[in-house]
Amino acid sequence: MAVKQVEFYKHNLEQEDIEQLMAVLNSTFLTTGPVTADFEQRFGEYTGMPHVIATNSCTSAMHLALEALGIGPGDEVITTPMTFVATALAIRHTGAHPVFVDVEPETGLMDVSKIEAAITPRTKAILPVHLYGCMVDMRGVFAVAAEHGLRIVEDAAHCVEGARDGVRPGQLSDAVCYSFYATKNLACGEGGAVAVHDPALAQRIRCARLHGMSSDAAARYKTPYRHWDVQTPGWKANMDSIHAALLVKQIDRLDDNLVKRQALADRYREKLAVIPGISLPRERGKNACHLQTVWVSAEQRDWMLHYLQEQGVACTVNYRAVHTLDYFQKTYHHKPEDFPIAHDIGLRTITLPLYPKLTEEEQDYVIDVLTTAQRALSLEESPQGQLQSV
């Protein structure tokens, strides 16, 4: 138990990324331009998606995609309560309402068999979330969407690299959204992207990410000056060259970093399996290994979270179910038991450190701390009484 401090995440930026950034800083052009376009091109090659539009976040990527698909006030979009709140808020930003369906108990993923019962005449789209790194059954989602004439927008914030049943994120949907937020597998601080198949949809999103203007700053920079116009009111959600510079070379290292996380995830799986009272979500398809969550008992979760922190292990909760958050309870009159499986998982989740720079020594320390915590809890009836005595 020598290690005393384990970070929750360490980024993977290297010298070559810093050089890309310096090249932008030494140029005159900081906002959206050729470097952003270069990133979009390379990311499209990696993901196999023909049109990529880089944005300032995944939240705005989802908002722009939904809006460009014609979703607006009064419409309903079916999604999962076991996700980051941004998924449901992006739906709200269009004026539509999120309609939740419960999740599978073994994986935490949206239960595709429950979608049909949630469809109403106002339903316009399905927004599945690929949780922790594992994909939703997209063939199943596609079948329901096709039968009911619904759009599909995917939240792939956790799943750039994953696949399932021969399908990758985006392949069967209208749009797929990614996040490059500080702790994601591909990270630049703040950033996102939406990828689509339809060139007309790509054009609408590209225009909407920059006020709805008919030309961007890079085009306006050229001579002779051309006047721009606005046909529809857009948003301010473009990715600048500074953030794009940090991403271009990282794409080439995604697969190597995945191999490192896979090895760590396998080690967690093997070593945590023997600790009583701790279970892990079941994997589905090729896991992008974004988050290592463990499920403990609801009564002991907060105590364990605090204990891990006290011992220097940074950890968090991904996620408490969205429908139990105050705004959603009040606005939609949801009760926690409306989606009991997501609620239960939300009460039992702890997310452990998982990133390429995590050493086996640090990981063993995390596992030792968990083992000690679990042993202490099994000796006492009341976990609350344990805080002082451990």
Ligand X SMILES: *Cc1c(COP(=O)(O)O)cnc(C)c1O
Residue ranges that bind ligand X, judged by CB under 6 A: 57-59, 83-84, 86-87, 129, 155, 157-158, 179, 181, 192
Q: Of 278, 250, 283, 245, which is closest to residue 356 (Cα–Cα)?
A: 250
- Nearest to ligand X of 104, 155 (CB atom): 155
Cβ 273 to ligand X shortest distance, Å: 26
Cβ 266 to ligand X shortest distance, Å: 22
Cβ 184 to ligand X shortest distance, Å: 6
Q: Note if 357 is an active site residue.
A: no
The active-site residue out of 114, 184, 330, 357 is 184
CB 80 within 8 A of CB 342: yes
Tokens 């949801």 — which residue?
334
- For 182-194, what is the HEC assignment? CCCCCCCECCEEE
- Nearest to ligand X of 52, 129 (CB atom): 129
Tokens 């500080």 — which residue?
182
Cβ 55 to ligand X shortest distance, Å: 8
CB 44 within 8 A of CB 195: yes
- Nearest to ligand X of 100, 303 (CB atom): 100
Q: Which residues are catalytic?
A: 184
